Copies of this chain bind each other. A is one copy, B any other.
């Protein structure tokens, strides 16, 4: 049983709390037995840790587990996972142009998965998808999607898909949009919407008619659009 914070394995796990190390190591941590199983199923689990003496798990003390994990509640298991990226792009693509809230990012992963948007493009300026809060709120959807990263404009120009922006005020009402099979939907930042640079591409925008409200939560608005284009 590992009970020292100086153990090299533990030191690596602690480093992975930082985004830059996750990037350089191409690895990330998941907390809780549900996510560990999902990671194993997805074939990305490199090591599993438990506070119990279990087959196939590296045992650590409760104190060590507590220091690695980010939740207030006691986590019994955690998994060290490798990042996996495929270059293939699904027919339905969700593009995030600066979504910042981890909860929104995780919720959007669940919805993308549920409605067949199996590729997610994470534009520069969006929250790190391997952040612990994102992973938690993705509820395992993070293992079922293919993620691409980079500049949204460049990616949009490279796509053969029908690409729509989104806007809270104007555009084609969602119910009236032709539901193409090969479609990409762009969602913008919580406060500012889609960036100027992307708006300058002159794409058609989708909007959701509403009353008495300035805007919906971005995970909600995005998911309503994915629902209409899914499954």
Residues of A participating in the B interface, judged by any CB pair closer than 8 Å: 103, 106-107, 110-111, 113-116, 137, 139-141, 144, 208-217, 219-220, 223-224, 227, 230-231
Contact = CB atoms under 8 A, between A and B. Distances in A.
15 contacts: A103-B103, A107-B219, A110-B213, A110-B220, A111-B217, A113-B212, A113-B213, A114-B212, A116-B211, A137-B217, A140-B214, A209-B231, A216-B223, A217-B223, A219-B219
Most buried by B among A139, A216, A230: A216
Contact of A227 (B110, B114, B115, B224): B224
A211 B231 contact: yes
A24 to B, nearest CB: 28
Contacts of A223: 216-217, 220, 223-224
A148 B111 CA distance: 30
Contacts of A140: 214
